Amino acid sequence: MPDNVIANPGSGGATFATDDIGGIQFPRTKIALGADGLYDGDVNSSNPLPVSLANVPSHPVTNAGTFAVQAAQTGIWTVGLSAAQTLATVTNLAQLGGQAIAMGTGVRTAGTQRVTIATDDVVSASQNGTWTVGLSAAQTLATVTTVATVTNLSQLGGQAIAMGTGVRTAGTQRVTIATDDVVPASQNGTWTVGLSAAQTLATVTTVSTVSTLTGGGVAHDSADSGNPIKIGGRAVAGLSGATLVAAADRTDLVTDTGGQLLVRKTPLEDIVTGVLANTDGASTSVIAAQGAGVKTYITDATIANSSATNVTVDLRDGTAGSVKWTFPVPANGGVTHRFETPLPFSANTAVAADASAAATTITMSLAGFKSKI
């Protein structure tokens, strides 16, 4: 309670409100606002005392409880913080950069804060409206999982896209099939198939017309298969005027002018012959060995005996080999024989004649052919 003091207590003067502190009366007063000569009302909750913090010394404040400063702003407050001070919490900020802060979504206003996304942040976004994505020459778009609609794509891999060929529309994209891809296809229209010299066509089931056939389907010394190809021959007036070809060359089959195929019983290149005159009766080679793997076949033999002695003459498989045929040859006579079945001799072995006795003179003439069979 206030300790009141009465002025002029003997005559009953005015009473002043005081506070007794150690026997000393300190007066209690009200604070009025206003400059000199002016009255702006007493200080109360509706008319607070103006306070300026500009000259408040910087002293540490120990808050022993709840320390709250309530103030009504009547103008612009300027709050300064030293380098060592921090503003702990801002509950509600109304402006940034002098612009009112716009909240919510939709059309942005001038007060919408601009931000820069950190390079190590992932920003979730939903597409709204038309997005224009630009990449510089040094940039690549690593992975695109799904693109709903591309209105106009002018390049792929840095190359202009070629559109449309033949009967396709102008919007059909042209592609080139990779050389290691197999493309299933159904035949439509006429197909022209070209093969290089190093390529072969494995199997053709049906061919309606072949204008030119350049090779057979089965190579020499391969197992025969399939149907034969109908062939024709080339007619000649005679073989004496034929032009010879080199060994292993391909040749025409030839016929006479009546269409009959010309065939020799024995190829002229394989004919072998030999003549021997003998007086001592020893086994002697008449036709030499023809080489490794090559046999000699005798088709004709003539033996003459101008002596007065009857003899026999053996044809031997080599001078010391087995007897293949024996001819009786009378004195002052001879014998001629044609083998309907050619008489064979071993491969790479001479054909020898061996008279049964010495006689002057035994003359032997042999003819035949050579073969690997």
| Residue-level pLDDT at 106 | 65
In a domain, 279, yes or no: yes
Using CA atoms, how far apart are residues 296 and 349, in angstroms rounded to an integer? 8
In a domain, 11, yes or no: yes
In a domain, 105, yes or no: no
Question: Which of 29-33, 143-147, 234-238, 323-327 tops mean pLDDT?
Answer: 323-327
Which residue type occupies 215? G
| pLDDT reading at 122 higher than 60 | yes
Using CA atoms, how far apart are residues 335 and 305, in angstroms rounded to an integer? 9
> How many domains, the chain?
2
CB atoms within 10 A of CB 348: 14
| Residue-level pLDDT at 187 | 78
| Residue-level pLDDT at 20 | 84
Using CA atoms, how far apart are residues 53 and 246, in angstroms rounded to an integer? 124
User: What are the b/e assignments for 288-323, b being 16+ CB within 10 Å?
Assistant: ebbeeebbbbbbebbbbbebebebebbbbbbbebee
User: What are the b/e assignments for 206-225, b being 16+ CB within 10 Å?
Assistant: eeeeeeeeeeeeeeeeeeee
CATH no. for residue 323? 2.60.120
Give me the mean pLDDT over the 85-100 stretch: 78
In a domain, 7, yes or no: yes
In a domain, 220, yes or no: no
| Residue-level pLDDT at 77 | 63
In a domain, 199, yes or no: no
In a domain, 358, yes or no: yes
Q: What share of the chain is helix, strand, coil (3-state, %, to 5)?
A: 0, 25, 75
In a domain, 122, yes or no: no
| pLDDT reading at 199 higher than 80 | no
| Residue-level pLDDT at 152 | 84
| Residue-level pLDDT at 315 | 98
The residue segments making up the domain with residue 15 are 1-31
| Residue-level pLDDT at 183 | 80
Give me the mean pLDDT over the 323-339 stretch: 98
